[in-house]
Structure 1
Amino acid sequence: MSTFSLLKKKMSLFRQSIRGITFIQHFSSHSSNVNNYYLRQKRKWPHSPYKTKYQDQETFPHQLAMQKLIQSTKNMSPKTNLLSILIDSFSSYKCNPTPNAYFFILNTLTKNPTTWDQIPHILDHIHNVEDFNTPEYIFTYLIKFYGVSDKTNLAFELFFTMPCFRCNPSVKSLNVLIWVIFKNNYDLRFVLLVLVKCQLMNIWVEESTFKILIKELCRIGKVKICVDLLNLMVDSGFNLDGNSCSLILCTMSGLKVCDGIDIWGVLKEMRKLGYIPKRVDLCNVIRFYVKNEKGVDGLLVLNKMKMSGIMVPDIVCYNLVLNGLILEGEWNYADEVFDELLVSGLVPDIVTYNVYINGLCKQNKVDEALRMIGCMEDLGCKPETNTYYTILEALCRSNEMLSSATKEFFGQMKLKGLQLNAHMYGIMIDCMIRNGEVDEAYNMLHEMVGMGFVPQSVTFDGLIYCLCERGLLSEVMELLSIMVAKNVVPGIGSWEALVQALSNSAKEDSSK
Structure 2
Amino acid sequence: MVSFKQLVAQHNPLQPDFVPSLLQSLSLYNLHQSPQAYHFLIKTLLHNRQFHHIPSLLHHLQLQHFQTPEYIFTHLVKFYGNANRIQDAVDIFYRIPQFRCFPSAYSLNALLALLCRSQRGLKLLPQVLLNSLHMNIRLEESTFRLLVCTLCRMNKVAYAIEILQRMLDDRLGVNDKVFSFVLSSVCAEGDLDGEDVIGFWRGLRKLGFSPAMGDYDGVVRFLVKKGRGLDAWDVLNQMKSDGIKPGIISYTMVLNGVTAEGDYILADELFDELLMLGLVPNVYTYKAYIDALCKQNKVEEGIKMVACMEELGCKPNVLIYNTLLRTISKAGEISRARELVKEMKYKGIEMNWVSYTIIIDGLVSNGEILEACALVEEVLHKCIFIKSLTFDEVICGLCQRGLVCKALELLGKMVERSISPGATVWEALLLSSESRPKFHLVNPL
- How far off its partner does 1:362 sit? 3.7
- How far off its partner does 1:415 sit? 1.1
Report what 1:209 is aligned to: 143
Amino acid at match of 2:418: N
Contact 2:258/2:266 (<8 A) preserved = yes
RMSD, matched Cα: 3.8
Structure 1 runs of 4+ aligned residues shifted over 6 Å read 106-111
Pick one of 268, 287, 293 that aligns with 2:205.
268
Contact 1:263/1:285 (<8 A) preserved = no
Report what 1:337 is aligned to: 270
Amino acid at match of 2:424: G
Contact 1:457/1:491 (<8 A) preserved = yes
Report what 2:319 is aligned to: 386
SS state at 2:251 partner: helix
Question: 1:294-323, CA deviations, whole angstroms, 9 ceiling, x for partnerless residues?
Answer: 2222222233344x4432333333222222
Q: Does 1:279 align with 2:213?
A: yes
Q: Does 1:502 align with 2:430?
A: no
Contact 1:295/1:321 (<8 A) preserved = yes
Distance 2:71 2:166 in 1: 28
Question: 1:327-368, CA deviations, whole angstroms, 9 ceiling, x for partnerless residues?
Answer: 333333333333333444444332221112223334444333
Q: Does 1:318 align with 2:248?
A: no
- Residues 362 and 508 (structure 1), Cα distance of their counterparts in 2 relative to 1, 3 Å cut: farther
Pick one of 409, 426, 430 that aligns with 2:357.
426
Pick one of 60, 69, 79 that aligns with 2:13.
69
Q: Does 1:231 align with 2:168?
A: yes
- How far off its partner does 1:164 sit? 0.5
Amino acid at match of 1:328: E
Amino acid at match of 2:391: F
- How far off its partner does 1:157 sit? 5.0
Matches within 5 A, 1:403-422: 403-422=334-353
Pick one of 241, 264, 271 that aligns with 2:175.
241
Distance 2:145 2:318 in 1: 43
Amino acid at match of 1:360: L
Distance 2:273 2:327 in 1: 26
Question: 1:6-43, CA deviations, whole angstroms, 9 ceiling, x for partnerless residues?
Answer: xxxxxxxxxxxxxxxxxxxxxxxxxxxxxxxxxxxxxx
Report what 1:86 is aligned to: 18
- How far off its partner does 1:442 sit? 1.7
| Unaligned residue ranges in structure 2 (runs of 5+) | 28-32
Report what 2:281 is aligned to: 348
- Residues 467 and 363 (structure 1), Cα distance of their counterparts in 2 relative to 1, 3 Å cut: same
Report what 1:160 is aligned to: 94
Aligned residues: 424
Q: Does 1:460 align with 2:394?
A: no
Question: 1:446-496, CA deviations, whole angstroms, 9 ceiling, x for partnerless residues?
Answer: 222333434442233222222223333332332233223222223222223
Pick one of 42, 52, 57 that aligns with 2:3.
57
Amino acid at match of 2:182: I
Report what 2:380 is aligned to: 449
Q: Does 1:327 align with 2:260?
A: yes
- How far off its partner does 1:263 sit? 4.1
- TM-score, normalization: structure 2? 0.79
Quick check: which has more Rg, 1 or 2? 1
Amino acid at match of 2:162: I
Distance 1:126 1:495 in 2: 84
Distance 1:56 1:166 in 2: 30
| Unaligned residue ranges in structure 1 (runs of 5+) | 1-54, 73-83, 112-117
Distance 2:263 2:56 in 1: 69
- How far off its partner does 1:243 sit? 2.9
- Residues 248 and 94 (structure 1), Cα distance of their counterparts in 2 relative to 1, 3 Å cut: closer
Contact 2:220/2:254 (<8 A) preserved = yes
SS state at 2:184 partner: helix
Distance 2:165 2:382 in 1: 58
Report what 2:30 is aligned to: none
- How far off its partner does 1:246 sit? 3.2
Distance 2:85 2:13 in 1: 30
- How far off its partner does 1:405 sit? 1.3
SS state at 1:419 partner: coil
